[in-house]
Each structure stands twice: as C-alpha cells, then as structure tokens.
Structure 1
Amino acid sequence: MKGLDNKRIAVAASRKADTISILLEKKGGKPIPYPIQGEMELHEQTSFQNVRDLVEQPFEWVVLTTGIGSKTLTQAAANNALHNAFFEKLKQTNIAIRGSKTMSWLKENELSPTIVTEDGTMETLLHDLERRKSPESYNRLFLQAYNQDDAVWKDALEDLGFTVYLSQPYAYKRPDEQVTRDLRQEIIKQSIDAVLFTSKTQVQNLFEKQGDHQLVHSFNDQVLAVAVGKVTAKELEKQGIVHVLQPETPKMGAMVVELDNYYRQKTRT
C-alpha cells in the first residue's frame, strides 16, 4: 500500500503543477490543482532601466534574490546591447544571493558570489550583509526583488546603513479570486488531506485576509501544510501554523517523497 493512497492533495502551484500532480499520482495520491500563484508579468522597460543604471552607477553590492529576476535582467541586457557591460559590472562587484536557482544562474554565467546564504532566506542574507558592510564606503546596494515584500527588505537594508537601489524586473498578477476562494473553503471544511505550497507568494495570497482563524485552525487540526523549502515554510509558520512538513532538500520531488513517508509512518503508528 502506498503512503498517499486515498489522500486528496491540493496543489497551490501554477508553474510545474502538472509535474507535481504526476509525482503525487505515482504515490497513490489524488492531486487537486488550485493555482493561486498568479501569472508572472515581466517588466521589460523597467529591467532595461535597471540594467543601464547598474552599469552606469557605482555599487558596492548586487543582491540577487531569485533566479527568474537574474535571468530577466540578463535578457534585458542582451536585448539592449548591454550584455558585456552587464556581466563585466557583476564581475567587479560584490554579489550576494539567496536560493539554489540564483546559484545555478551564477554558475551558468561563471560568476562567483561573495555571500551565499546557508538557508536561502532573506533574514540570513541581511545578517550576512550587515557583517560584511564596509565602514569606509557608501555601501550602495542594487537589490533585485519583486512585488512581494520588496519594501520590507529595502527598509531593512537601509536601517543597516545601505543606500538601496530597488530593481523590480517582474511581478505576479493577482490569482483568480474564485480559485482562491474554492481552496480556502476546501481547507476550512477539511475536505482535503494536505496542501502543497511551492512559494511564499501562494501562502500570502491564501492568507490575504488578516486574522483568518478558520484557515489556521484547519491546518492545525487535520489539514497538513507542506512547503517545498524554508522560505515557504517560514511564511506558513508566520501565519500561525504549528506543524509544517518540508523536505531537507528544497525540491518538488523531495517534497512529494517526504509527504509519502509522513503518511506511511503515520499509518504504522
């Protein structure tokens, strides 16, 4: 008997939701798609302006927070004859990153970071930057972010003494409101066994209403919250969810295996 037999698993992801669903089905689960990520919107003109400012202005640090953002800036540089100047500037500047996808982008482009966060979170990245901040320079910092928590991180960095240039090469549109409402009702009624989250954006979209105690109660009662990694897990915990299941390696396949093992172990006990 498979660990996910007869388990109804909601999938909150939009990107690669089909892949996750196939993995769940192979373990005996019944995946139910509730894509609440929201469609990604690239800001081409903003990206071009960001790249040009990075190339032309002095910066001690470049902070790259997502692989998608790094790739979008790269494409903007290539589209506007700034490819060589963009990468030359990155080679001359301290780079701080979070996340495995950003690290993969660096390796692909033969760039070496000065700071890589151990746990992939912005909180740790802020701590690492504070320790490396130079008292002898203006500490101008280029922050690649997007429309989730960008102002929070900008303010936090400025509180540490950095002068921050905020780059927003992309954003996420609002998800379909009906899909979000349907998922909320499934959770509140506890008619599903678990919800799989692959980003903190999905968590924030689900918990958009402040003080939603019904959702929190359901997660803390019977509905299992599953996160692909630490950043997503922390966002769930911030909402008041006591138990969040997550794999040691932040990968979709590892997340499904962890979920399967969880139910297998629960069956034995």
Structure 2
Amino acid sequence: MGLKDKRIAVTGGRKGEEIRTLIEKQGGKAFIRPAQGTVFTNAAHVVQSIQEIIENPPQLVIFTTGMGEKRMAELAEANGLGKPYEQLLRTVPIAVRGTKTFQHFKQKGITPGTVADRGTIHQLEESLAIENQSIALQMHGENVPTFIKTLEQANNTVRTIYPYEHTPPEEAVVEQLVEEMESGLLDAVAFTSAIQVRYFFDYVENKKKKNAILSLLNDEILPVAVGEVTEEHLKERGVKRVLTPTTPRMGAMVMAMSKYYQE
C-alpha cells in the first residue's frame, strides 16, 4: 500500500480505468484527466504518401512505431499498393525507434539497419549520422520539429508520414487538472504519452501559467512518466525531475510511484 492517501492525476484516458484500479490497489486515489483527444487516420493523405515513396523511393525510411507501419501496410493493401510497398521495405534501408518497432519488423522478416533501443528520438538522432539523403519519416501523430530540423541542417530532404493523428483534449478537463494542481490537491501527475505532455504544456503556455506549473512540478508535485520518451518530452518543457520506471509499462509506473513514496 505504498500509495496510501496519495492523490494522483493520470493524463491518459484510453486505459484510465485500468490505471485507476492499479493505483487504488496500492491505496491511492486516481483522478483521470485525459490530456489528449481521439486518434484518427487521414487515409487519403497516408495513401498519397505511400504512393509517393513507392514512385520516388527515399534513401532511408525511419519508422517511429510498429503500429503506424501496420496501419500503412493495411492502407497500402486496401488501395492496391501492397506488393510495391512491401518491396520498398525490403530494398530501402530502415531505421526504427524502440524495441517494439524492431520486433514488428523482425516478424515481417525484415531486420532494420539502425535501432534506437531506448525508444527516444534523441537516441535515434544520435544513431543517424547521415547527410545529403532523401528520408521518409513515419511519425505517430506527434511532430518532432527539432529532429526534423537536425536532419534538414545536414542537407537531408525529409518527407513526413502520419498514419495516426490526434485531436486536442477537452479544454475543460485540462483546466480542471491545472486548478487541482494549483489548489494543492494532487501529490503526483502521471503522463502516459508524449502527446499528452505537448497538449498540457501548450495549454498552460497559452494561459500564461507555464512558470507557475513548472514550479509546482519541480518542487511540490511529483511528475511521473510512463517511459523514457515521455520523460524526454517533459524535460524538454522544463521539468527537471521525473520519476520513470525502467520498463515502460503502466503497471511498472504505478509500482515505481509506490516504491518512491515508501522510501
């Protein structure tokens, strides 16, 4: 019962009730405050992007999620592009972010040449010392302007593909979360994806509350990330200390909080 009497806001909505149960089993109280909206696919744009890279193959394809590649493969197959798309994957060098994405390709019989095994964009950037190349970059609904800028500064041409896109969260929910933080109600805030970090900080910046919120997260409220990728985004926004489990899983995140409060 390491979370006894602890009040924890969770910014993920999709598995909110599952996380609530895990927190309550440890004696805590969960406040589910989704900081991201729904996920959708702009199929026409994705199919157009697939057609473009088939007709004009890049010198490197970067995949940041296996789920996103699976969606691309489904759309290619449904639009008569399945075989040329599969052939592209087997002839063009591939770089991937994370072991899940690597395993996804291994199951397809493809071994990516570059693997950022910690799953962070920063590690992926360090792994790719490339210049003067054409690159197709598959993202999972989250833009990474710094990474793209770094690639372009090395005289690379970057085409982005978004198999999944996100809608913003309900503003009233984020406003409620901010009010609960300011009132002293919360002991911790747990972020379960990088996109939640972006939407949350975009909101507080727009409301001119970023400095006050950062002060709370750095001194009074425990910021928690489900994994290194989310932690990286929190630190980029100015959060100095983040509790992150060694394994990027919801259960591991809750147990890390429990252990933290017991020490």
TM over 0.5, shorter chain: yes
Deviation per residue, 1:181-209 (Å, 9 max, x gap) = 00111112220111111112111111114
Which of 178, 181, 185 is matched with 2:175 structurally? 181
In the alignment, is residue 95 of structure 1 matched against residue 89 of structure 2? Answer: no
Instruction: Please give the alpha-carbon distance, in whole angstroms, between the structure 1 residues aligned to 2:190 and 2:106.
Output: 29
1:94 CA drift (Å): 0.8
Given that 2:245 and 2:256 are in contact with CA atoms closer than 8 Å, whether structure 1 keeps it comes out as: yes
Percent same amino acid at aligned positions? 35
Aligned residue for 1:53, secondary structure, equals helix
Given that 2:34 and 2:169 are in contact with CA atoms closer than 8 Å, whether structure 1 keeps it comes out as: yes
1:89 CA drift (Å): 0.9
Instruction: Please give the alpha-carbon distance, in whole angstroms, between the structure 1 residues aligned to 2:67 and 2:42.
Output: 12
Given that 1:47 and 1:72 are in contact with CA atoms closer than 8 Å, whether structure 2 keeps it comes out as: no
In structure 2, what is the equivalent of residue 107 of structure 1? Answer: 106
Please tell me the residue identity of whatever aligns with 2:238: G
1:157 CA drift (Å): 0.9
Aligned residue for 1:207, secondary structure, equals helix
In structure 1, what is the equivalent of residue 117 of structure 2? Answer: 118
RMSD over aligned Cα atoms = 1.7
Deviation per residue, 1:105-147 (Å, 9 max, x gap) = 22332221111113211122122111xx37xxx5211111255
Moved over 6 A (4+): none
Which of 194, 197, 203 is matched with 2:197 structurally? 203
1:71 CA drift (Å): 2.1
Q: Which residues of 2 match residues 195-234 of structure 1 at below 5 A?
A: 195-208=189-202, 209-210=204-205, 212-234=210-232
1:148 CA drift (Å): 3.0
Which of 155, 168, 172 is matched with 2:149 structurally? 155
Deviation per residue, 1:17-69 (Å, 9 max, x gap) = 22222221222221110011221121111111111122221221110112332
Aligned residue for 2:128, secondary structure, equals helix
Please tell me the residue identity of whatever aligns with 1:7: K
In the alignment, is residue 194 of structure 1 matched against residue 211 of structure 2? Answer: no
Instruction: Please give the alpha-carbon distance, in whole angstroms, between the structure 1 residues aligned to 2:146 and 2:71.
Output: 22
In structure 1, what is the equivalent of residue 238 of structure 2? Answer: 240
Which of 136, 143, 149 is matched with 1:142 structurally? 136
Consecutive unaligned residues in structure 1, runs of 5 or more: none
Given that 1:198 and 1:228 are in contact with CA atoms closer than 8 Å, whether structure 2 keeps it comes out as: yes
Instruction: Please give the alpha-carbon distance, in whole angstroms, between the structure 2 residues aligned to 1:248 and 1:220.
Output: 21
Instruction: Please give the alpha-carbon distance, in whole angstroms, between the structure 2 residues aligned to 1:153 and 1:79.
Output: 31
In structure 2, what is the equivalent of residue 55 of structure 1? Answer: 54
Residues matched between the structures, number: 259
